[in-house]
Chains A and B, each alone.
Chain A
Amino acid sequence: MMRPIRILVAKAGLDGHDRGAKVIARALRDAGFEVIYTGLHQTPEQVVDAALQEDVDGIGLSVLSGAHMTLFPRLRQLLDEQGASDIVLFGGGTIPNEDVAPLIAAGVAAVFTPGTPLAAIVDFVRKECARRVEA
């Protein structure tokens, strides 16, 4: 039997808005994934350390402070530097539509803007984060 997909739900930066992160964490857990939550106010370095230590298949980053254009690319860069290019980075928060394309170009697999159904996020994780499990 295949092991379950492991996801790190992360809050980086200084904002304390954890409502979305906690709802996503519960929804992913209810969908049968293993979920680890970093807690608040993590630096990108701390998030990457936790991801490697926990051997996760994907990181879901929540940013509601407007710092998404800094935090997402930094996280992707650190993961790649650590040889963890296979960890899928996705996320969401208060992210205007026009910022989505540049984030995708920076190596973010998916950006879920406000109002995205939980089921869409669960489907994404099931499809995109399974590769590492199968490998």
Chain B
Amino acid sequence: MLKDDVSVVKTIDDAGSSRNGAVRDAWQAQVQRAPLRAGAVDKTISDHPLKPLYGPDDVAEIDPERDLGYPGQYPFTRGIHPTMYRGRLWTMRQFAGFGTATQTNARYKFLLSQGQTGLSVAFDMPALMGYDSDHPRALGEVGKCGVAIATLDDMHDLFRGIDLGSITTSMTINCTAPVALAMYLAAAEEQGVPAEKLGGTLQNDMLKEYIAQKEWIYPPEPSMRIITDMMAYCAKHVPKWNTISVSGYHIREAGSTAVQELAFTLADGFAYVEAGIEAGMNVDDFAPRLSFFFNAHSDFFEEIAKFRAARRIWARHMRGRYNATNPRSWALRFHTQTAGCSATAQQPENNIMRTAFQALAAVLGGTQSLHTNSLDEVLALPTEKNVQIALRTQQVIAYETGAANVIDPLGGSYFMEKLTAEMEEQAEDYFRRIDEFGGVIPAIHAGFFQREIADASYAYQREIESGERIIVGVNDFINEEEPQISLLKIDRAMEQDQVARVRAFRSGRDGAKVADALAALKRAAESEDNLMPHYLHCVKSKATLGEISEELVPVFGRYREPAFV
């Protein structure tokens, strides 16, 4: 045994000096003799093939100057800031919202008191789909998946006692995004904060709604017009606002692979750029305000490579294809959330570890902000205790692990660079296939993305079913007895309170003023006017979210998805 070891050491020495590949051959010979353990996998969680070892040959084509560059410099593979986390840590931003605006306001104050550095609003399903809390279709859904917001009063209560001039707010809302932005602007105005000082992000990414998250009102074409109107309005009046957070998160949650998430999200991003240019804007006037939102799933290295590839692809296309000249148009900024779909209901405490590894991948991938999922989110909205553990996870990564000390610490790893390059190539293949459909919207109408994702998610599920893929606590290492954990309960009386609030709001306003404002919005929709000032006028005239959304259905139509399995 000892003799063998000695001879190996000697071989390495020989080959190291002669570089004739003898060391590699010796290793390969050893590998061929060595048995593999049962269950050893040679692919990522996304079915991307892996080699057992990567070496210099794998990066022979990679030119460090051209393909990696330096942090803060084109093509931004290593990060978008020259100092990255040495200059400033990522923003710790926990997505939160439940019950009434007043209940969620209390949660925000708790999170801020615990060291959180930005707010992120989760709206309930009725608000996300354009229904007021008292609409028959809202029954049972009010305040469940997020906070119930139907009126300007609700928005005021949501941020009561929080200075909108000193905090940045992210709002995860899409088809009703213009209403949410209008309400936020009106609430800030009443606080005395001018629009040009407001910082924050609207998700406002309708393309991924048709692809994955499936919350919509109007068809894709009018939705794109609303979005370009908002881009133009914000470029002028709310210059620090991120108008779209182009989102891969939901694509991944719907079951896509990592490469699909990467490719579909960037394709959506390019579609917004093209829409802005077609609407007559200069690319450098709006592209710096586009941001991204990715998932951090469990395959550690694949996720880091995905983030690095995303930056490089965006930079190359923005400069080479769309002729952006402002480096800020080239730099892809992104938020990350750990993968909700990876969390398990079985042994839920294990989700703490999953979240920690996923969050570390996001940090090593250079994220600008991060939400860490709570252990109980697979079953319900998180309790205060579990949110605190999730936030502490980020703080441990930031202050204890050393992960924030060196920029892009995995840069130059044979494996990491090869994987990054492969993901870029595969994304480019998808871009070509999407182009063959005539772009993102025709591909949506053809069901291309929806089918790709459904196929990937079914394949993944079958691997779990067959035991080919182990999920700890679910199909192996099972506990027969599952202890109960205490969950956040949304009081059912809350829904009735909110319904009463909305009705009281409607009865306390000037009906003629509301009708005029809604009519003006509709006329604007029929013309080429920018819609955003009209949304703002509706909100200030006390029209509700549901009324504003419904007003435009006769003009824009209602989207119906072709249902297929």
- Chain A interfacial positions (CB closer than 8 Å to B): 9, 13-19, 22-23, 25-27, 29, 35, 37-41, 43, 65-67, 69-71, 94-98, 113-115, 117-119
Question: Is B255 a contact of A66 with CB atoms below 8 Å?
Answer: no
Taken together as a complex, chains A and B put the C-alpha atoms of A39 and B482 apart, in Å, by 34
Closest A residue to B127 by beta carbon equals A14
- Is B126's beta carbon under 8 Å from chain A? yes
Residues of A within 8 A of B490 (CB): 66
Closest B residue to A117 by beta carbon equals B465
Closest B residue to A15 by beta carbon equals B125
Report which of A16, A37, A96 forms a contact with B379, defined as CB distance below 8 A: A96
Question: Is A115 a contact of B346 with CB atoms below 8 Å?
Answer: yes
- From residue 441 to 475 of chain B, which have CB atoms closer than 8 A to chain A? 454, 457-458, 461, 465, 471, 474-475
Question: Is A94 a contact of B454 with CB atoms below 8 Å?
Answer: no
Question: Is A37 a contact of B145 with CB atoms below 8 Å?
Answer: no
- Is B519's beta carbon under 8 Å from chain A? no
Residues of B within 8 A of A18 (CB): 214, 254
- Is B477's beta carbon under 8 Å from chain A? no
Report which of A23, A65, A95, A117 forms a contact with B125, defined as CB distance below 8 A: A65
Question: Is A67 a contact of B458 with CB atoms below 8 Å?
Answer: no
Question: Is A26 a contact of B458 with CB atoms below 8 Å?
Answer: yes
Residues of B within 8 A of A69 (CB): 140
Closest approach, in angstroms, between the C-beta of B251 and any C-beta of chain A?
11
- Surface stretch bound by A, among B12-20, B184-192, B557-565: B557-565
Residues of A within 8 A of B141 (CB): 13-15, 65-67, 70
- Is B129's beta carbon under 8 Å from chain A? yes
Taken together as a complex, chains A and B put the C-alpha atoms of A92 and B561 apart, in Å, by 22
Taken together as a complex, chains A and B put the C-alpha atoms of A29 and B254 apart, in Å, by 20
Listed residue (B253, B341, B344, B458) with the most chain A CB atoms within 10 angstroms of its CB: B458
- Given A22-B454, A25-B565, does the pair A67, B487 have CB atoms closer than 8 Å? no
- Is B45's beta carbon under 8 Å from chain A? no
Closest approach, in angstroms, between the C-beta of B132 and any C-beta of chain A?
13
Question: Is A16 a contact of B214 with CB atoms below 8 Å?
Answer: yes
Counted as pairs of residues, one from A and one from B, with CB atoms less than 8 Å apart, the total is 104
Question: Is A66 a contact of B380 with CB atoms below 8 Å?
Answer: yes
- Is B509's beta carbon under 8 Å from chain A? no
Interface string of B132-154 (1 = CB under 8 A from A): 00000111110011000000000
Closest approach, in angstroms, between the C-beta of B270 and any C-beta of chain A?
24
Closest approach, in angstroms, between the C-beta of B438 and any C-beta of chain A?
24
- Is B172's beta carbon under 8 Å from chain A? no
Question: Is A96 a contact of B144 with CB atoms below 8 Å?
Answer: no
Report which of A23, A96, A114 forms a contact with B457, defined as CB distance below 8 A: A23
Residues of A within 8 A of B346 (CB): 115
Taken together as a complex, chains A and B put the C-alpha atoms of A53 and B90 apart, in Å, by 54
Residues of A within 8 A of B128 (CB): 14
- Given A14-B129, A96-B380, does the pair A71, B565 have CB atoms closer than 8 Å? no
Give me 10 other A-B pairs in contact (C-beta within 8 A), A35-B565, A65-B144 excluded: A14-B128, A22-B458, A22-B565, A38-B563, A40-B563, A41-B129, A66-B145, A69-B140, A70-B140, A94-B380
Question: Is B140 a contact of A94 with CB atoms below 8 Å?
Answer: no
Taken together as a complex, chains A and B put the C-alpha atoms of A53 and B458 apart, in Å, by 28
Residues of B within 8 A of A71 (CB): 140
Question: Is B565 a contact of A114 with CB atoms below 8 Å?
Answer: no
- Is B41's beta carbon under 8 Å from chain A? no
- From residue 240 to 267 of chain B, which have CB atoms closer than 8 A to chain A? 253-255
Closest approach, in angstroms, between the C-beta of A44 and any C-beta of chain B?
10
